[in-house]
Structure 1
Amino acid sequence: MRGEHLITVANNRVKFKLNIRRNLTILQGNSATGKTTLLELIDQFDQLGPDSGVSVVCDAPCHVLSGRNWKRNLKEISSSIVFIDEDSAFMRSHEFAHAARESDNYYVLVARESLPQLPYSVDEIYGLKNTNRATTKYPVYSRIYTSTYRIYGEQSFSGQRPELVIVEDSNSGYEFFSALCLKSGIPCVSAKGKSNIYSTILASNATSFLVIADGAAFGPEMEAVYALTRLKNIELFLPESFEWLVLSSGLFNDTEMREMLEHPADFIDSERFFSWESFFTDALIQKTKDTYLAYRKKELNREYLKERAASAIEATLPSLGFNAS
Structure 2
Amino acid sequence: MKGKHRIVVSTKRQKYEFELRRNLTILRGDSATGKTTLIEMIQDHENDPLGSPVELISDKKCYVLEGALWKEQLAGITDSIVFIDEGNTFVKAEEFAGVIQNTDNYYVIVSRESLPALPYSVEEIYGIRTSGKYGTLKQIYHEFYRIYNLDETKGEIEPEAVVTEDSNSGYQFFDAVCRENGLTCETLNGKSNIFRYLKVHKNEKILVIADGAAFGSEMDRVMRLMESRKNIVLYLPESFEWLILSAGVLKNAAMEKILKNPSEYVESRNYFSWERFFTALLIEETKGTYLAYFKRNLNPVYLNESIKTAILSQMKKIKIDRKK
Relative to the length of structure 1, the TM-score reads 0.94
Counterpart mapping for 1:205-224 below 5 A:
205-224=202-221
Matched, 1:145 2:134: yes
Q: Note the C-alpha offset of 1:324.
A: 6.0
Counterpart mapping for 1:79-118 below 5 A:
79-118=79-118
Counterpart mapping for 1:118-197 below 5 A:
118-132=118-132, 144-154=133-143, 155-156=146-147, 157=150, 158=153, 159-197=156-194
SS in structure 2 opposite 1:281? helix
Cα-Cα RMSD: 1.3
Q: Take 2:200 and 2:298, find their aligned partners in 1: how far apart are those partners?
A: 28
Matched, 1:52 2:57: no
Q: Note the C-alpha offset of 1:323.
A: 4.7
Query: Is the contact between residue 126 and residue 151 of structure 1 (CA under 8 Å) also seen in structure 2?
Result: yes
Q: Take 2:322 and 2:157, find their aligned partners in 1: how far apart are those partners?
A: 6
Q: Take 1:64 and 1:305, find their aligned partners in 2: how far apart are those partners?
A: 49
Instruction: Name the structure 2 match of 1:230.
Output: 227
Instruction: Name the structure 2 match of 1:135.
Output: none
Q: Note the C-alpha offset of 1:169.
A: 2.1
Q: Take 2:197 and 2:90, find their aligned partners in 1: how far apart are those partners?
A: 31
SS in structure 2 opposite 1:52? coil
Q: Take 2:53 and 2:294, find their aligned partners in 1: how far apart are those partners?
A: 54
Q: Note the C-alpha offset of 1:253.
A: 2.4
Q: Take 1:276 and 1:169, find their aligned partners in 2: how far apart are those partners?
A: 15
Q: Note the C-alpha offset of 1:13.
A: 1.0
Q: Take 2:322 and 2:168, find their aligned partners in 1: how far apart are those partners?
A: 26
Instruction: Name the structure 1 match of 2:262.
Output: 264
Matched, 1:294 2:292: yes
**Residues 1:130 and 1:303: Cα distance change in structure 2 (over 3 Å):** same
Query: Is the contact between residue 160 and residue 324 of structure 1 (CA under 8 Å) also seen in structure 2?
Result: no
Q: Note the C-alpha offset of 1:321.
A: 2.8
Aligned residues: 314
Q: Take 1:205 and 1:71, find their aligned partners in 2: how far apart are those partners?
A: 44
SS in structure 2 opposite 1:297? coil
| AA at the equivalent of 1:308 | S
Moved over 6 A (4+): none
| AA at the equivalent of 2:177 | L
Matched, 1:67 2:64: no
1:285 to 283, 295, 306: 283
Q: Note the C-alpha offset of 1:149.
A: 1.1
Q: Note the C-alpha offset of 1:120.
A: 0.4
Relative to the length of structure 2, the TM-score reads 0.94
Q: Note the C-alpha offset of 1:273.
A: 0.4
Q: Take 2:2 and 2:202, find their aligned partners in 1: how far apart are those partners?
A: 45
Q: Take 1:254 and 1:165, find their aligned partners in 2: how far apart are those partners?
A: 31
Q: Note the C-alpha offset of 1:203.
A: 2.3
Q: Take 2:243 and 2:319, find their aligned partners in 1: how far apart are those partners?
A: 17
Query: Is the contact between residue 215 and residue 240 of structure 1 (CA under 8 Å) also seen in structure 2?
Result: yes
After TM superposition, the structure 1 stretch with the greater mean CA deviation from structure 2, 35-44 or 85-94, is 85-94
Q: Take 1:16 and 1:237, find their aligned partners in 2: how far apart are those partners?
A: 32
Q: Take 2:188 and 2:282, find their aligned partners in 1: how far apart are those partners?
A: 24
Identity %: 47
Q: Take 1:95 and 1:323, find their aligned partners in 2: how far apart are those partners?
A: 43
Unaligned runs of 5+ in 1: 133-143
Q: Take 2:302 and 2:53, find their aligned partners in 1: how far apart are those partners?
A: 58
